Amino acid sequence: MTIVANALAATPPMGWNSWNMFGSAINEARLRATAEALVSTGLKDCGYNYLVIDDCWSVKSGRGSHGELVADPQKFPSGMPALVDFVHGLGLKIGIYSDAAELTCAGYPGSFGSEEQDAQLWASWGFDFLKYDYCHVPSDQATAIERYQRMGQALRRTGRDFLYSLCEWGGRGPHLWGRSVGGHMWRVSGDISDSWVNVWVPAYASYGIGADVSMDIAAQLDEYGGPGGWNDLDMLVVGLGGQGQITGSGMSFLEYQTHMSVWCLACSPLMIGCDIQALDVETAGLLLNREVLAVNQDPLGRPALRVKQIGPCDVWRKPLADGAMAVGLVNRGSSGMDVTLKAAELGLLDTSKLTRNLWQQTDVADFTFELTQRVQPHQTILLKIGG
């Protein structure tokens, strides 16, 4: 039997989401400028094609006289259809946000009980994507499946293609049922923080997840992601530099490079979270490296497996559609180390294979029996072997 992946998410979705940088401070001018920046920076050409409006877009005090959600006229004076048309006119797609309860996480009207009406409204405005959050809900799994199913059905009934992004943070096993409710991606952790280690967030009474911890979460779930449905490690923090409205004071260049490498190896959606109107050279280099992005977007769609831990260094292996293999060497320790890869341990034959360093975009050596690489603290060396 041939399995045809849902064309909407045949490879991990890519784009930009308003939350990590702007939180509630969204408005149409900012979103238009961001859409233009997706094009002018070359991000769109690299595949980042969704602009997603997160929480806080509607009138907070309640629904309109016909029970409809109302876009905040202060934030969106031209109305949502005008913004949607503008974004579509740039060749991009656009996403909206709601929650499977009466209120969203930030306390705006949610969609529980109004799924059909809300889905019809977003479809009539021309939206292409829904991120559906899970604050203010019962904690059990059965209710979550039912509520995500209700919205999944409502989206399908609109007759419009919606990429459906589930955001219940992984506690109820969405990797097991996300596809069955129509989901194309499902968050597998609580909210990310802009830091290497976890950071305590008093307002949520929970930890913001650090990049080092995300790796261990991804390592548990590799068999569940694939064409049509992806494990979502959360929006990227690359480029925030501690300036966003999420927790964390930023990471070093090598730590951001590791964060990006792991998201690519794990086939996580790549939703940028920083302000791309002010993209610095280092951040651009991390977001726009086509050889690295090709690992994330490889048509085989196999999330990497963590095959080995050599001291503090993790070794990840990801088979690629052209027969090559991507390999990630992640040094989680505090001193540099030489890591020696052996062909047999990676499941490779002892024949000569051209090996490329994807971040540097340079050929390294012919890898036959073994290959040694120096990896700095918190750095990831990303290799493509053979192909």
Residues that bind ligand GLA (CB under 6 A): 19, 54-55, 104-106, 133, 167, 191
- Dist CA 322 CA 298 (whole Å): 9
| Choice between 234 and 314, CB closer to ligand GLA | 234
Question: Would you tell me how many other CB atoms lie within 10 Å of the CB of residue 319?
Answer: 15
| Sign of the CA dihedral with 235 first, then 236, 242, and 248 last | positive
Minimum CB separation of residue 8 from ligand GLA in Å reads 20
Contact at 8 Å (CB) between 189 and 169?
A: yes
Nearer to ligand GLA by Cβ, of 107 and 377: the residue is: 107
Closer Cβ to ligand GLA, 119 or 237, answer by number: 237
Minimum Å distance from CB 384 to ligand GLA? 32
Q: For ligand GLA, which is the closer residue by CB, 14 or 375?
A: 14
- Active-site residue among 191, 212, 232, 298? 191
Strands 313-319 and 325-331: antiparallel
Which residues have CB under 8 Å from 281's CB, separation 6+? none
Stated as kind and residue range, the H or E segment containing 38 is helix 28-40
Instruction: For the beta carbon of residue 281, count every other beta carbon within 10 angstroms.
Output: 7
Whether residue 1 contacts residue 297, with contact meaning beta carbons closer than 8 Å, is answered with: no
Closest CA to 54 of 129, 159, 140: 129
Instruction: Give dist(CA 274, CA 38) in Å, integer.
Output: 12
Task: Provide the minimum distance between the beta carbon of 293 and ligand GLA in the complex, in angstroms, as a whole number.
Answer: 22
To the nearest whole angstrom, how small is the minimum distance from the Cβ of residue 281 to ligand GLA? 28
191 a catalytic residue: yes
- Residue 159's Cβ-count burial label (10 Å; 0-12, 13-18, 19+) is exposed
CB of 238 to ligand GLA, least distance (A): 16
Q: Of the two residues 265 and 271, which places its CB atom closer to ligand GLA in the complex?
A: 271
Report CA-CA distances (Å) from 67 to 111, 129, 144, 299, 374. Answer: 11, 22, 24, 43, 60
Find the catalytic residue in 55, 118, 133, 234.
133
Minimum distance between the CB of residue 294 and ligand GLA, rounded to whole angstroms? 27
Question: How many angstroms separate the CA atoms of 28 and 240, rounded?
Answer: 21
| Shortest Cβ 356–ligand GLA spacing (Å) | 34
- Give dist(CA 311, CA 248) in Å, integer: 27
Nearer to ligand GLA, 127 or 359 (CB): 127
Please say which residue, 54 or 255, places its beta carbon nearer to ligand GLA: 54
For ligand GLA, give the closer residue by CB, 114 or 247: 247
Q: How far apart are CA 238 and CA 262, in angstroms?
A: 12
| Cβ 271 to ligand GLA shortest distance, Å | 10
**CA distances, 351 to each of 11, 83, 226, 343 (Å):** 30, 55, 29, 9
Look up 55 and say whether it is catalytic.
no
Burial class (CB in 10 A: 0-12, 13-18, 19+), 73: exposed
Q: Give me the active site residues, please.
A: 133, 191
